[in-house]
Amino acid sequence: MKIGIIGAGNIGGNLTRRLTAVGHDVSVANSRGPETLSELAAETGAKAVTVAEAPRGADVVVVTIPLKNVPDLPAGLFAEAAEGVAVIDTGNYYPQQRDGRIAEIEDGTTESRWTAQQLGHTVVKAFNGTYAPHLLEKPLPKGAPDRVAVPVAGDDEAAKQRVRALIDEIGFDTVDAGGLDESWRQQPGTPVYGTPYGSFEDEKGTPADEATIRAGLAAATR
């Protein structure tokens, strides 16, 4: 599968490592230019490209950049992507620490709904509560008793299924967290974000399996 990754920070870098490790054709971009990604490209075999080039021909595109920078992405970003491209949004809204105040989110629009509006393309929310090192440390084969689970939200069922299959391939179970209007259940401040569930372990060190993630989503309060 051809995959484009926009953003090469902790999550983007480790997704590049995992996705190339299982054999996908990965192009990776950041805001500073392909020449700054030479080490990651050499390590993984991914192709370092510009942001505009990353989605070209891609079946899946991962957008993993600060929310405040999403509106600055090129217009028509997915025009040359594969038909039915699935766009993964890993982002979170941090108004005090990084993003400033975004009025629509403050007024109740979910973070991923806002991101989709800026991109002009629906998204699938995944990995937003994942501790980046765990992408490399925690993968297990399908059916393993301690395999951890990731919540996945989105409106496009076909795109969501493609993303869930990809997450399964890199070593994690998934839980359908509903549509984008329900994706607040995995935003910062909810049980499945960060500790204990999003970090994949509870206070006893038990991995966050599907049942744990479902319970955390149900327990969330808006």
Residue 107 lies in a domain: yes
pLDDT at 172: 96
In 155-216 the beta strands, taken as DSSP E runs, fall at: 173-176
Q: How far apart are CA 197 and CA 58, in angstroms?
A: 31
Number of domains in the chain: 2
Look up the pTM and report it.
0.96
Sign of CA dihedral 79, 30, 95, 198: positive
H or E stretch at 157: helix 157-169
Domain that holds residue 208: 141-219
Q: Is the pLDDT of residue 74 over 80?
A: yes
pLDDT given at position 68: 97
pLDDT at 202: 64
The verdict on whether omega for the bond into residue 196 sits within 30 degrees of 0, i.e. cis, is yes
Residues 66 and 22 both lie in one domain? yes
pLDDT tens sequence across 154-180: 999 999 999 999 999 999 999 999 999
Q: Which of 74, 97, 125 is the last residue of a domain?
A: 125
Q: Are residues 82 and 14 in the same domain?
A: yes
Closest CA to 139 of 131, 128, 148, 151: 148
Banded pLDDT at 194 (limits 50, 70, 90): confident
Average pLDDT value over all residues in the chain: 95
In this prediction, residue 108 carries a pLDDT of: 96
Scored b (16 or more CB within 10 A) or e, 87-97 reads: bbbbbbbeeee
pLDDT per residue over 103-146, tens digit each? 999 999 999 999 999 999 999 999 999 999 999 999 999 999 88
Tokens standing for residue 119 = 């991109």
Percent of the chain with pLDDT over 90: 91
Residue 222: what pLDDT? 87
